[in-house]
Chains A and B, each alone.
Chain A
Amino acid sequence: MKSSGNTFWQKLWKQKALVLMSLPFIIYVIIFKYIPLWGWLMAFQNYWPGNSFFEQTWVGLENFRLLLSDPVFFDVLRNTLAMSVIKLLSGMFFSILLALVLNEVRFAKFKKITQTISYLPHFISWVVGANLVMNALSTNGIVNDLLLNLGIVDSPIMFMGIPKLFWWIVGASHVWKTVGFGAILYLASIVSISPSLYEAAVIDGASRLQRIRYITLPALKPVIIILLIINVGRLMNMGFQQIYLLSNGRVIEYSRIFRIFELDFGLKMMRYSFATAAGIFRSLVSIVLVFSANQIAKMMGEERLI
């Protein structure tokens, strides 16, 4: 090999042990992650599983046209974005609030116990989470009992059956499950703030609230922006399992999001090409969203993700 003029191949040969170790992983990722991308072509065909690739009929953008003219399409888009935005904003708000509040606790032991308890819901599956939520909201669950005893309502409310409430139940249960864990990152940023800033503020006579407002919150800005950008890219994909498990036939108008739509049309109704087109649409919107958020952050002179 030493006579070969190509330095890349020479190096590759020299590193054959590393190449050998990584080769199975390259093949693995191509099979499991990249071959499904090839399946995107399905969206431009009238795909039928029995036919080979060359026997499929090509229909151009017909599936996308059908998608955009489907009567439920805009409901699906609205539900997907609305629930993601509610979850994103309420989740961030309460996580930041919890981090700020925990930081003000002076009893180390109480702080630790509270944190340990607050992470707990993060470790359970959404199957268990949805079960707990539905139990609490059932007609003889705790929420109805409280409302009845306080005299706010006269008869139990069927919370899970009210379409307009569904988004807010999803938002609230999202906060319940993620608030403690979400606070970790903010708390880590707060701990890294230099104590001298607080000392100077105390000398200047700043109250605790003022210190939070003028020192702690501004110090959180970079991590808030990074997390916003990351999550804006995920708006089209957020929390599918949660919504799937909490939804039921009575609230479908407000609970059907893109991935449920793809599942219903793709695997249940066997409109494979149509569902794949919906999947591509979802991915494209995600990419546009993440790049726009990145660009806005850049214009604001903030840190960027990409």
Chain B
Amino acid sequence: MIRAKKRGWDDILLDVFIYTFLIALIIVTLYPFLNTLAISFNEGRDSIKGGIYLWPREFTTFNYESLLTDQQIFHAAGVSIARTVLTTVFGTFLTAMLAYVISRKDFVLRKFITFIYVLTMYVQGGLIPTYFLYQRLGLTNNFWVYVLPGLVAAFNLIIVRTYINGLPESLIESAKIDGASEFTIFLKIIMPLSKPVLATIAIFTAVYHWSAWWDVFLYNSSNPALATLQYELMKVLATANSMSGSMQQALANSAQSAQITPRAIRATMTIIVTVPIAVVYPFLQRYFVHGLTLGGVKE
């Protein structure tokens, strides 16, 4: 680092500003999570009085007990996990396959396919036509509406293609001489070499699908069996003052129902939904940041 020899007052003032700013940022970022965590472990009626900051006042695990005995929550978690795993695995594999095909400079349809995919980033059919299409395809009230439409996204495709373009072409040439088919080249040579970029888009995909509630709301809201965790949380949020169906169920099942309050439910649900992200976070952020700087995404 370059440092001026003498520290002037403006230099010191700058440091004061820098560290104040960063510490404020850390507090503002973390506090809402820690506060929600504290509320989720605090007795519901007591929380209404306010004044809970970083630590529960009347510690209880009752909020978690009543939510985690709710079958609907477990079912929704299952749906969330299923859609996340399926789209991440198949989406990443298929994106890699198409990226390999359009990275082949001698391929006659290369420009055409790239164009029809990139165009989808700018021109979209809109809410109503898409809804009718899915309805006609039988995708409404159907689990597969979570998986099929998002399998290959143009943005991910371009990232992977850019990466494959950077691999030495001689690898493909020599494999061809050895008589390998296109699919074998992709599977045995390109896939293993593209691991870093595939990890990045796999994480993009997984985070997106774990967070999704919008498609549940639009296409599958009539079927509680297809709800995801985020959708359950969204319902709790939407009915912040009253209670959603599954929550009322949870209350009905609970003898000590008076102890549970909407605010406590919201806090507890928020923590339940966030914990999986927090667990894989170190891994997530490494590849995410890596992916963003993986070379220009520019066409």
Contacts and interface: CB of A to CB of B under 8 A. Distances in A.
A285 interface: no
B129 A39 contact: yes
A128 interface: yes
A25 B218 CA distance: 25
A293 interface: no
Given A104-B18, A131-B237, A142-B35, A283 B29 contact: no
B49 A140 contact: yes
B28 A36 contact: no
Given A32-B149, A127-B234, A127-B273, A18 B107 contact: yes
A185 interface: yes
Contact of A39 (B11, B109, B125, B207): B125
Contacts of A36: 124-126, 129-130, 133
A98 B182 CA distance: 47
B210 interface: yes
B2 A195 contact: yes
Contacts of B122: 233, 286-287, 290
A39 B128 contact: yes
A37 B274 CA distance: 36
Give the size category of B's interface with A: 35 or more
A104 B21 CA distance: 12
Contacts of A32: 133, 148-149
B48 A101 contact: no
A224 interface: no
B128 A120 contact: no
A136 interface: yes
A155 interface: no
B127 A259 contact: yes
Interface string A204-217: 00011100000000
Contacts of B117: 29
A38 B129 contact: yes
Interface string A24-35: 011011111111
Nearest to B26: A117
A40 interface: yes
Interface in A164-180: 176, 179-180
A12 to B, nearest CB: 6
B29 A42 contact: no
Contact of B129 (A8, A30, A40, A233): A40
A49 interface: yes
B104, B128, B186, B233: most-surrounded residue (chain A CB, <10 A): B128
Interface of A: 8, 11-12, 15, 17-19, 21-22, 25-26, 28-40, 42, 49, 97-98, 101-102, 104-106, 110, 114, 116-128, 130-136, 138-140, 142, 145, 176, 179-180, 184-185, 188, 195, 198-199, 202, 207-209, 233, 241, 245, 259, 262-263, 266-267, 272, 275-276, 279-280, 282-283, 286-287, 290, 305
Given A125-B230, A262-B128, A276-B126, 12 more contacts: A29-B116, A117-B29, A118-B26, A124-B274, A124-B277, A132-B36, A188-B292, A198-B2, A202-B4, A208-B14, A283-B124, A286-B122
Interface of B: 1-2, 4, 8, 10-11, 14-15, 17-18, 21-22, 25-26, 28-33, 35-36, 39, 48-51, 53, 94, 97-98, 101-102, 104, 106-109, 113, 116-117, 120, 122-133, 137, 148-149, 151-152, 181-183, 186, 207, 210-214, 218, 230, 233-234, 237, 240, 263, 266-267, 269-270, 273-274, 277, 281, 284-285, 288-289, 292-293, 298
